[in-house]
Chains A and B, each alone.
Chain A
Protein backbone atom coordinates (compact mmCIF):
# COMPACT_ATOMS: atom_id res chain seq x y z
CA UNK A 1 0.00 0.00 0.00
CA UNK A 2 2.79 2.41 1.04
CA UNK A 3 4.55 1.56 -2.19
CA UNK A 4 1.45 2.42 -4.22
CA UNK A 5 1.00 5.78 -2.44
CA UNK A 6 4.69 6.59 -2.94
CA UNK A 7 4.43 5.70 -6.61
CA UNK A 8 1.30 7.83 -7.04
CA UNK A 9 2.89 10.81 -5.26
CA UNK A 10 6.07 10.47 -7.28
CA UNK A 11 4.13 10.39 -10.53
CA UNK A 12 1.94 13.36 -9.49
CA UNK A 13 4.85 15.49 -8.30
CA UNK A 14 6.98 14.45 -11.24
CA UNK A 15 4.29 15.49 -13.74
CA UNK A 16 3.75 18.81 -11.92
CA UNK A 17 7.47 19.55 -11.84
CA UNK A 18 7.84 18.56 -15.48
CA UNK A 19 5.04 20.96 -16.42
CA UNK A 20 6.89 23.76 -14.65
CA UNK A 21 10.25 22.99 -16.20
CA UNK A 22 8.97 22.39 -19.73
CA UNK A 23 9.04 25.41 -22.08
CA UNK A 24 5.58 26.30 -23.32
CA UNK A 25 3.34 29.20 -24.24
CA UNK A 26 2.71 31.37 -21.18
CA UNK A 27 0.43 34.42 -21.20
CA UNK A 28 0.89 37.10 -18.56
CA UNK A 29 -1.12 40.25 -17.97
CA UNK A 30 -1.62 43.20 -15.66
CA UNK A 31 -5.11 44.60 -14.97
CA UNK A 32 -6.56 43.01 -18.08
CA UNK A 33 -9.58 41.66 -16.20
CA UNK A 34 -8.69 38.18 -17.47
CA UNK A 35 -7.86 35.11 -15.40
CA UNK A 36 -8.06 32.55 -18.18
CA UNK A 37 -8.19 32.45 -21.99
CA UNK A 38 -8.66 29.95 -24.78
CA UNK A 39 -5.86 29.70 -27.33
CA UNK A 40 -8.18 31.20 -29.97
CA UNK A 41 -8.93 34.20 -27.75
CA UNK A 42 -5.20 34.64 -27.10
CA UNK A 43 -4.48 34.53 -30.85
CA UNK A 44 -7.15 37.17 -31.54
CA UNK A 45 -5.76 39.49 -28.85
CA UNK A 46 -2.12 39.20 -29.98
CA UNK A 47 -3.14 39.69 -33.62
CA UNK A 48 -4.50 43.12 -32.67
CA UNK A 49 -8.23 42.45 -32.74
CA UNK A 50 -8.92 44.21 -29.42
CA UNK A 51 -8.16 47.81 -28.47
CA UNK A 52 -9.53 48.05 -24.92
CA UNK A 53 -10.24 45.58 -22.13
CA UNK A 54 -13.68 45.38 -20.55
CA UNK A 55 -12.33 47.40 -17.60
CA UNK A 56 -11.51 50.19 -20.16
CA UNK A 57 -7.76 49.76 -19.80
CA UNK A 58 -5.95 50.00 -23.12
CA UNK A 59 -4.72 46.71 -24.60
CA UNK A 60 -0.90 46.91 -24.73
CA UNK A 61 0.54 43.99 -26.68
CA UNK A 62 4.00 42.82 -25.59
CA UNK A 63 5.80 40.45 -27.96
CA UNK A 64 9.30 38.96 -28.09
CA UNK A 65 11.69 40.63 -30.51
CA UNK A 66 13.51 38.34 -33.00
CA UNK A 67 16.53 38.27 -30.66
CA UNK A 68 14.48 36.87 -27.76
CA UNK A 69 14.55 33.13 -26.99
CA UNK A 70 10.74 33.27 -26.80
CA UNK A 71 10.26 34.56 -30.36
CA UNK A 72 10.05 31.31 -32.32
CA UNK A 73 7.72 29.60 -29.84
CA UNK A 74 5.37 32.60 -29.67
CA UNK A 75 5.36 33.03 -33.46
CA UNK A 76 4.54 29.34 -33.94
CA UNK A 77 1.87 29.06 -31.25
CA UNK A 78 0.13 32.43 -31.52
CA UNK A 79 0.68 33.54 -35.11
CA UNK A 80 1.07 30.02 -36.55
CA UNK A 81 3.95 31.31 -38.65
CA UNK A 82 7.63 32.23 -38.42
CA UNK A 83 9.16 35.17 -36.52
CA UNK A 84 9.35 37.09 -39.84
CA UNK A 85 5.66 36.33 -40.42
CA UNK A 86 4.81 37.71 -36.97
CA UNK A 87 6.78 40.91 -37.67
CA UNK A 88 5.20 41.24 -41.12
CA UNK A 89 1.70 40.91 -39.63
CA UNK A 90 2.31 43.76 -37.19
CA UNK A 91 4.18 46.02 -39.61
CA UNK A 92 1.27 45.81 -42.06
CA UNK A 93 -1.33 46.44 -39.35
CA UNK A 94 0.46 49.53 -38.03
CA UNK A 95 1.12 50.84 -41.55
CA UNK A 96 -2.58 50.51 -42.35
CA UNK A 97 -3.31 52.65 -39.28
CA UNK A 98 -5.47 49.88 -37.83
CA UNK A 99 -3.57 49.46 -34.57
CA UNK A 100 -0.93 50.96 -32.30
CA UNK A 101 2.38 49.09 -32.54
CA UNK A 102 3.15 46.37 -29.99
CA UNK A 103 6.04 46.61 -27.54
CA UNK A 104 8.86 44.30 -28.59
CA UNK A 105 11.07 43.05 -25.75
CA UNK A 106 14.42 41.27 -25.79
CA UNK A 107 13.86 38.69 -23.05
CA UNK A 108 11.37 36.97 -20.75
CA UNK A 109 12.65 39.08 -17.83
CA UNK A 110 12.05 42.32 -19.77
CA UNK A 111 8.53 41.21 -20.68
CA UNK A 112 7.73 40.46 -17.02
CA UNK A 113 9.11 43.84 -15.92
CA UNK A 114 7.14 45.69 -18.61
CA UNK A 115 3.86 43.93 -17.80
CA UNK A 116 4.40 44.53 -14.07
CA UNK A 117 4.77 48.28 -14.64
CA UNK A 118 2.00 48.85 -17.20
CA UNK A 119 -1.73 48.41 -16.60
CA UNK A 120 -3.46 46.75 -19.53
CA UNK A 121 -0.27 45.08 -20.79
CA UNK A 122 -0.44 41.47 -21.97
CA UNK A 123 2.59 39.45 -23.01
CA UNK A 124 3.07 36.14 -24.79
CA UNK A 125 6.12 34.21 -23.63
CA UNK A 126 7.57 30.83 -24.50
CA UNK A 127 9.33 29.73 -21.33
CA UNK A 128 9.07 27.60 -18.21
CA UNK A 129 6.08 28.65 -16.14
CA UNK A 130 8.34 28.55 -13.04
CA UNK A 131 10.20 31.59 -14.48
CA UNK A 132 7.08 33.73 -14.29
CA UNK A 133 5.38 35.18 -11.18
CA UNK A 134 2.18 33.19 -10.66
CA UNK A 135 0.23 36.40 -9.93
CA UNK A 136 0.70 37.57 -13.54
CA UNK A 137 -0.18 34.33 -15.31
CA UNK A 138 -3.39 34.14 -17.35
CA UNK A 139 -4.30 30.46 -17.60
CA UNK A 140 -4.72 28.94 -21.04
CA UNK A 141 -7.88 26.81 -21.08
Chain B
Protein backbone atom coordinates (compact mmCIF):
# COMPACT_ATOMS: atom_id res chain seq x y z
CA UNK B 1 0.00 0.00 0.00
CA UNK B 2 2.78 2.37 1.00
CA UNK B 3 4.63 1.52 -2.22
CA UNK B 4 1.51 2.38 -4.25
CA UNK B 5 1.22 5.75 -2.52
CA UNK B 6 4.91 6.37 -3.09
CA UNK B 7 4.56 5.50 -6.80
CA UNK B 8 1.54 7.81 -7.14
CA UNK B 9 3.52 10.56 -5.44
CA UNK B 10 6.46 10.11 -7.84
CA UNK B 11 4.11 10.11 -10.88
CA UNK B 12 2.41 13.31 -9.60
CA UNK B 13 5.76 15.02 -9.18
CA UNK B 14 6.91 13.95 -12.66
CA UNK B 15 3.64 15.16 -14.22
CA UNK B 16 3.73 18.50 -12.41
CA UNK B 17 7.36 19.04 -13.48
CA UNK B 18 6.35 18.31 -17.07
CA UNK B 19 3.41 20.72 -16.82
CA UNK B 20 5.58 23.37 -15.17
CA UNK B 21 8.03 23.10 -18.06
CA UNK B 22 5.16 23.76 -20.50
CA UNK B 23 3.96 26.89 -18.72
CA UNK B 24 4.44 30.16 -20.60
CA UNK B 25 7.44 32.30 -19.76
CA UNK B 26 6.03 35.28 -17.86
CA UNK B 27 7.83 38.39 -16.66
CA UNK B 28 6.49 40.91 -14.16
CA UNK B 29 7.73 44.44 -13.75
CA UNK B 30 6.48 47.43 -11.84
CA UNK B 31 6.74 51.17 -12.37
CA UNK B 32 5.85 54.07 -10.14
CA UNK B 33 6.60 57.69 -9.31
CA UNK B 34 6.41 60.27 -6.56
CA UNK B 35 6.33 64.01 -7.24
CA UNK B 36 6.73 67.30 -5.47
CA UNK B 37 5.08 70.46 -6.76
CA UNK B 38 5.34 74.12 -5.85
CA UNK B 39 2.98 76.27 -7.90
CA UNK B 40 2.18 79.95 -7.92
CA UNK B 41 -1.33 79.76 -9.38
CA UNK B 42 -2.25 82.06 -6.50
CA UNK B 43 0.80 84.36 -6.25
CA UNK B 44 -0.15 85.41 -2.71
CA UNK B 45 -0.39 81.85 -1.46
CA UNK B 46 1.80 79.37 -3.34
CA UNK B 47 0.87 75.69 -2.98
CA UNK B 48 3.57 73.22 -2.01
CA UNK B 49 2.76 69.50 -1.89
CA UNK B 50 3.86 65.94 -2.59
CA UNK B 51 1.96 63.72 -5.02
CA UNK B 52 1.74 59.94 -4.90
CA UNK B 53 1.82 59.00 -8.58
CA UNK B 54 0.24 56.07 -10.34
CA UNK B 55 1.73 52.63 -9.82
CA UNK B 56 1.84 50.24 -12.70
CA UNK B 57 2.12 46.44 -12.79
CA UNK B 58 3.44 45.33 -16.17
CA UNK B 59 3.10 41.73 -17.32
CA UNK B 60 4.59 40.18 -20.44
CA UNK B 61 4.14 36.54 -21.29
CA UNK B 62 5.16 34.38 -24.20
CA UNK B 63 2.26 31.96 -24.50
CA UNK B 64 3.46 30.00 -27.55
CA UNK B 65 6.04 30.57 -30.27
CA UNK B 66 3.68 32.98 -32.08
CA UNK B 67 1.28 34.17 -29.35
CA UNK B 68 2.23 36.56 -26.57
CA UNK B 69 0.35 38.53 -23.91
CA UNK B 70 0.98 42.00 -22.52
CA UNK B 71 -0.86 43.68 -19.66
CA UNK B 72 -0.56 46.94 -17.79
CA UNK B 73 -2.57 47.37 -14.59
CA UNK B 74 -2.51 50.73 -12.89
CA UNK B 75 -3.56 51.91 -9.43
CA UNK B 76 -3.89 55.65 -9.02
CA UNK B 77 -5.40 58.18 -6.63
CA UNK B 78 -9.05 58.97 -7.22
CA UNK B 79 -10.87 61.22 -4.77
CA UNK B 80 -14.28 59.85 -5.78
CA UNK B 81 -13.38 56.30 -4.76
CA UNK B 82 -14.21 55.03 -1.25
CA UNK B 83 -10.60 53.94 -0.78
CA UNK B 84 -9.30 57.05 -2.62
CA UNK B 85 -7.61 54.74 -5.12
CA UNK B 86 -8.87 53.15 -8.33
CA UNK B 87 -7.39 50.26 -10.28
CA UNK B 88 -7.63 50.24 -14.06
CA UNK B 89 -6.63 47.98 -16.92
CA UNK B 90 -4.62 50.28 -19.16
CA UNK B 91 -3.45 47.68 -21.66
CA UNK B 92 -4.37 44.06 -22.07
CA UNK B 93 -3.61 42.46 -25.39
CA UNK B 94 -2.85 39.22 -27.14
CA UNK B 95 -0.43 39.43 -30.03
CA UNK B 96 -0.20 36.91 -32.83
CA UNK B 97 3.01 37.13 -34.88
CA UNK B 98 1.85 35.54 -38.13
CA UNK B 99 4.91 36.44 -40.20
CA UNK B 100 8.36 37.86 -39.49
CA UNK B 101 7.74 41.36 -38.03
CA UNK B 102 4.02 41.35 -38.91
CA UNK B 103 1.45 40.83 -36.15
CA UNK B 104 -2.22 41.05 -35.33
CA UNK B 105 -3.15 42.34 -31.88
CA UNK B 106 -6.46 41.96 -30.05
CA UNK B 107 -7.34 43.84 -26.89
CA UNK B 108 -7.06 47.21 -25.19
CA UNK B 109 -4.11 49.15 -26.58
CA UNK B 110 -2.64 52.60 -26.44
CA UNK B 111 -3.79 54.08 -29.76
CA UNK B 112 -0.55 54.27 -31.82
CA UNK B 113 -1.07 57.79 -33.16
CA UNK B 114 2.18 59.39 -32.01
CA UNK B 115 5.56 58.48 -30.57
CA UNK B 116 4.63 59.28 -26.97
CA UNK B 117 1.42 57.26 -26.82
CA UNK B 118 3.07 54.35 -28.61
CA UNK B 119 6.23 54.30 -26.48
CA UNK B 120 5.85 55.55 -22.92
CA UNK B 121 2.43 54.44 -21.66
CA UNK B 122 2.39 54.54 -17.84
CA UNK B 123 6.07 54.06 -17.02
CA UNK B 124 7.29 57.49 -15.89
CA UNK B 125 10.84 56.19 -15.75
CA UNK B 126 10.79 56.24 -19.57
CA UNK B 127 9.44 59.81 -19.84
CA UNK B 128 12.08 62.36 -20.89
CA UNK B 129 10.18 65.08 -18.97
CA UNK B 130 7.86 65.00 -15.94
CA UNK B 131 4.43 65.15 -17.58
CA UNK B 132 2.76 64.05 -20.78
CA UNK B 133 2.16 66.66 -23.50
CA UNK B 134 -0.90 68.80 -22.70
CA UNK B 135 -2.83 67.47 -25.73
CA UNK B 136 -3.12 64.08 -23.99
CA UNK B 137 -5.60 65.61 -21.55
CA UNK B 138 -7.66 67.21 -24.31
CA UNK B 139 -7.93 65.55 -27.71
CA UNK B 140 -5.55 62.59 -28.00
CA UNK B 141 -7.62 59.35 -27.97
CA UNK B 142 -5.41 57.45 -25.53
CA UNK B 143 -6.86 53.94 -25.73
CA UNK B 144 -8.70 51.77 -28.17
CA UNK B 145 -10.29 48.38 -27.60
CA UNK B 146 -10.26 46.48 -30.83
CA UNK B 147 -7.99 44.88 -33.36
CA UNK B 148 -4.65 46.15 -34.61
CA UNK B 149 -2.45 45.12 -37.54
CA UNK B 150 1.18 45.94 -36.88
CA UNK B 151 4.38 45.73 -38.90
CA UNK B 152 7.85 46.89 -37.96
CA UNK B 153 11.48 46.99 -39.09
CA UNK B 154 10.61 46.34 -42.71
CA UNK B 155 13.30 47.01 -45.30
CA UNK B 156 16.29 49.32 -45.28
CA UNK B 157 14.40 52.22 -43.66
CA UNK B 158 12.89 50.07 -40.90
CA UNK B 159 9.40 50.94 -42.07
CA UNK B 160 6.52 50.27 -39.69
CA UNK B 161 2.74 50.48 -39.83
CA UNK B 162 -0.17 50.27 -37.42
CA UNK B 163 -3.82 50.05 -38.43
CA UNK B 164 -6.44 49.96 -35.68
CA UNK B 165 -10.21 49.47 -35.76
CA UNK B 166 -12.03 49.52 -32.44
CA UNK B 167 -14.40 51.20 -30.06
CA UNK B 168 -14.49 54.98 -30.42
CA UNK B 169 -13.75 57.87 -28.09
CA UNK B 170 -17.17 57.83 -26.41
CA UNK B 171 -17.05 54.11 -25.59
CA UNK B 172 -16.42 52.43 -22.27
CA UNK B 173 -14.34 49.32 -21.66
CA UNK B 174 -17.39 47.14 -22.29
CA UNK B 175 -19.72 49.05 -24.61
CA UNK B 176 -19.82 51.44 -27.56
CA UNK B 177 -23.22 52.89 -28.41
CA UNK B 178 -21.98 54.58 -31.59
CA UNK B 179 -22.56 52.82 -34.89
CA UNK B 180 -19.16 53.79 -36.38
CA UNK B 181 -15.93 52.42 -34.97
CA UNK B 182 -12.82 54.48 -34.27
CA UNK B 183 -10.14 54.11 -36.93
CA UNK B 184 -6.40 54.85 -36.72
CA UNK B 185 -3.66 54.41 -39.31
CA UNK B 186 -0.03 55.24 -38.63
CA UNK B 187 3.24 54.75 -40.48
CA UNK B 188 6.80 55.40 -39.41
CA UNK B 189 10.39 54.94 -40.50
CA UNK B 190 13.56 54.52 -38.43
CA UNK B 191 16.29 55.65 -40.84
CA UNK B 192 19.07 55.53 -38.24
CA UNK B 193 19.42 54.04 -34.76
CA UNK B 194 17.49 56.06 -32.21
CA UNK B 195 15.45 58.01 -34.76
CA UNK B 196 11.79 57.54 -35.59
CA UNK B 197 9.66 59.70 -37.89
CA UNK B 198 5.94 59.00 -38.07
CA UNK B 199 2.58 60.31 -39.27
CA UNK B 200 -0.91 59.17 -38.38
CA UNK B 201 -4.59 59.75 -38.99
CA UNK B 202 -7.44 59.04 -36.57
CA UNK B 203 -11.16 59.29 -37.32
CA UNK B 204 -14.24 58.66 -35.25
CA UNK B 205 -17.82 59.57 -36.13
CA UNK B 206 -19.81 59.84 -32.93
CA UNK B 207 -23.62 59.62 -33.19
CA UNK B 208 -23.60 61.02 -29.69
CA UNK B 209 -20.68 63.16 -28.54
CA UNK B 210 -19.18 61.82 -25.32
CA UNK B 211 -16.10 61.26 -23.23
CA UNK B 212 -15.68 57.58 -22.53
CA UNK B 213 -13.05 55.85 -20.51
CA UNK B 214 -10.42 56.00 -23.26
CA UNK B 215 -9.95 59.66 -23.93
CA UNK B 216 -9.07 61.41 -20.67
CA UNK B 217 -10.48 64.48 -22.42
CA UNK B 218 -11.62 67.58 -20.57
CA UNK B 219 -15.27 68.40 -21.26
CA UNK B 220 -16.29 71.89 -22.25
CA UNK B 221 -17.70 73.55 -19.14
CA UNK B 222 -21.29 74.70 -19.21
CA UNK B 223 -22.23 72.60 -22.21
CA UNK B 224 -23.42 69.06 -22.54
CA UNK B 225 -23.52 68.66 -26.28
CA UNK B 226 -24.72 65.15 -27.01
CA UNK B 227 -25.39 65.44 -30.73
CA UNK B 228 -23.42 63.92 -33.59
CA UNK B 229 -19.77 64.90 -33.96
CA UNK B 230 -17.03 63.97 -36.45
CA UNK B 231 -13.57 63.80 -34.88
CA UNK B 232 -10.39 63.90 -37.00
CA UNK B 233 -6.83 63.92 -35.73
CA UNK B 234 -3.67 64.12 -37.86
CA UNK B 235 -0.33 63.80 -36.07
CA UNK B 236 3.33 64.14 -36.94
CA UNK B 237 6.12 62.82 -34.69
CA UNK B 238 9.87 63.18 -34.84
CA UNK B 239 11.96 61.44 -32.20
CA UNK B 240 15.71 61.12 -31.91
CA UNK B 241 17.34 59.66 -28.81
CA UNK B 242 21.06 59.55 -29.52
CA UNK B 243 24.20 59.39 -27.42
CA UNK B 244 24.50 63.19 -27.14
CA UNK B 245 21.17 64.69 -28.16
CA UNK B 246 17.56 63.86 -27.50
CA UNK B 247 14.75 65.45 -29.53
CA UNK B 248 11.05 64.72 -29.38
CA UNK B 249 8.57 66.73 -31.39
CA UNK B 250 4.85 65.91 -31.45
CA UNK B 251 2.41 67.99 -33.47
CA UNK B 252 -1.30 67.38 -33.96
CA UNK B 253 -4.11 69.02 -35.84
CA UNK B 254 -7.55 68.13 -34.57
CA UNK B 255 -10.78 68.95 -36.41
CA UNK B 256 -14.24 68.42 -35.00
CA UNK B 257 -17.39 69.01 -36.99
CA UNK B 258 -20.88 69.53 -35.64
CA UNK B 259 -24.11 70.67 -37.31
CA UNK B 260 -24.56 73.45 -34.78
CA UNK B 261 -21.14 75.20 -34.67
CA UNK B 262 -19.48 73.82 -37.81
CA UNK B 263 -15.80 72.98 -38.10
CA UNK B 264 -13.55 73.59 -35.10
CA UNK B 265 -9.82 73.71 -35.82
CA UNK B 266 -7.53 72.74 -32.94
CA UNK B 267 -3.76 72.46 -32.82
CA UNK B 268 -1.05 71.25 -30.45
CA UNK B 269 2.72 71.02 -30.55
CA UNK B 270 5.25 69.66 -28.08
CA UNK B 271 9.00 69.99 -28.33
CA UNK B 272 11.62 68.48 -26.01
CA UNK B 273 15.37 68.96 -26.41
CA UNK B 274 17.88 67.23 -24.15
CA UNK B 275 21.66 67.17 -24.08
CA UNK B 276 23.14 63.97 -22.65
CA UNK B 277 26.31 64.26 -20.57
CA UNK B 278 28.05 60.98 -19.72
CA UNK B 279 24.77 59.02 -20.04
CA UNK B 280 23.55 60.30 -16.65
CA UNK B 281 23.02 64.06 -16.74
CA UNK B 282 20.41 65.49 -19.11
CA UNK B 283 19.75 69.24 -19.02
CA UNK B 284 16.64 69.93 -21.09
CA UNK B 285 14.12 72.43 -22.38
CA UNK B 286 10.50 71.91 -23.31
CA UNK B 287 7.81 73.86 -25.15
CA UNK B 288 4.22 72.62 -25.04
CA UNK B 289 1.35 74.48 -26.72
CA UNK B 290 -2.30 73.76 -27.33
CA UNK B 291 -5.08 75.82 -28.87
CA UNK B 292 -8.66 74.55 -28.83
CA UNK B 293 -11.06 76.63 -30.83
CA UNK B 294 -13.92 78.46 -29.12
CA UNK B 295 -16.47 76.64 -31.31
CA UNK B 296 -15.25 73.16 -30.32
CA UNK B 297 -17.93 71.03 -28.67
CA UNK B 298 -15.79 68.01 -27.79
CA UNK B 299 -12.88 69.51 -25.84
CA UNK B 300 -12.86 72.49 -23.54
CA UNK B 301 -11.85 75.61 -25.55
CA UNK B 302 -8.54 77.00 -24.32
CA UNK B 303 -5.09 78.23 -25.23
CA UNK B 304 -2.12 77.18 -23.11
CA UNK B 305 1.61 77.58 -23.57
CA UNK B 306 3.92 75.79 -21.14
CA UNK B 307 7.65 76.46 -21.13
CA UNK B 308 10.01 74.27 -19.16
CA UNK B 309 13.65 74.28 -18.22
CA UNK B 310 14.83 71.16 -16.45
CA UNK B 311 17.34 68.50 -15.59
CA UNK B 312 17.18 64.71 -15.44
CA UNK B 313 19.61 62.47 -13.59
CA UNK B 314 19.69 58.78 -14.46
CA UNK B 315 20.79 56.60 -11.55
CA UNK B 316 20.17 53.52 -13.72
CA UNK B 317 17.77 52.42 -16.44
CA UNK B 318 15.22 51.80 -13.66
CA UNK B 319 15.61 54.95 -11.60
CA UNK B 320 15.76 58.64 -12.42
CA UNK B 321 14.99 62.00 -10.88
CA UNK B 322 13.73 65.01 -12.84
CA UNK B 323 13.34 68.63 -11.88
CA UNK B 324 11.62 71.33 -13.94
CA UNK B 325 10.95 75.02 -13.68
CA UNK B 326 7.80 75.68 -15.66
CA UNK B 327 5.95 78.77 -16.77
CA UNK B 328 2.31 78.63 -17.88
CA UNK B 329 0.60 81.17 -20.15
CA UNK B 330 -3.03 80.18 -19.96
CA UNK B 331 -5.94 81.70 -21.80
CA UNK B 332 -9.41 80.17 -21.55
CA UNK B 333 -11.81 80.80 -24.42
CA UNK B 334 -15.48 81.05 -23.72
CA UNK B 335 -18.12 80.40 -26.35
CA UNK B 336 -18.99 84.07 -26.48
CA UNK B 337 -15.60 85.74 -26.50
CA UNK B 338 -12.37 85.56 -24.53
CA UNK B 339 -12.14 84.16 -21.05
CA UNK B 340 -9.76 84.95 -18.21
CA UNK B 341 -5.99 84.89 -18.67
CA UNK B 342 -3.70 83.34 -16.09
CA UNK B 343 0.08 83.12 -16.07
CA UNK B 344 2.07 81.42 -13.33
CA UNK B 345 5.31 79.64 -12.38
CA UNK B 346 5.61 76.12 -11.06
CA UNK B 347 8.47 73.96 -9.86
CA UNK B 348 8.10 70.20 -10.19
CA UNK B 349 10.29 67.30 -9.08
CA UNK B 350 9.72 63.64 -9.90
CA UNK B 351 11.32 60.45 -8.69
CA UNK B 352 10.45 57.72 -11.22
CA UNK B 353 11.31 54.07 -10.69
CA UNK B 354 10.93 50.59 -12.05
CA UNK B 355 11.29 47.36 -10.12
Contact = CB atoms under 8 A, between A and B. Distances in A.
Interface of A: 44, 47, 49-52, 58, 80-82, 84-85, 87-88, 91-92, 94-98, 100-101
A92 B60 contact: no
B298 to A, nearest CB: 28
Given A50-B100, A51-B97, A100 B317 contact: no
A94 B60 CA distance: 8
B58 interface: yes
A82 to B, nearest CB: 6
A82 B100 contact: no
Given A52-B97, A52-B100, A81-B243, A58 B317 contact: no
A82 B121 contact: no
A97 B317 contact: no
29 contacts: A49-B101, A49-B158, A50-B153, A51-B97, A52-B99, A58-B66, A81-B243, A84-B279, A84-B314, A84-B316, A84-B317, A85-B279, A85-B317, A87-B317, A91-B29, A91-B317, A91-B318, A91-B354, A92-B126, A94-B27, A95-B29, A95-B126, A96-B119, A97-B70, A97-B93, A97-B95, A97-B105, A98-B152, A101-B60
Interface string B157-171: 010000000000000
A91 B287 CA distance: 27
Contacts of B97: 51-52
Given A94-B27, A95-B29, A101-B27, 6 more contacts: A84-B316, A88-B317, A91-B317, A95-B58, A95-B123, A101-B60
Contacts of B101: 49-51
A23 to B, nearest CB: 24
Nearest to B97: A51
B37 interface: no
Contacts of A50: 100-101, 153
B145 to A, nearest CB: 15
Contacts of B318: 91
A44 B318 CA distance: 24
Query: Most A CB atoms within 10 A — which of B27, B68, B279, B317?
Result: B317
B279 A82 contact: yes
Given A94-B60, A100-B68, A101-B27, A49 B93 contact: no
A84 B125 CA distance: 14
Contacts of A82: 279
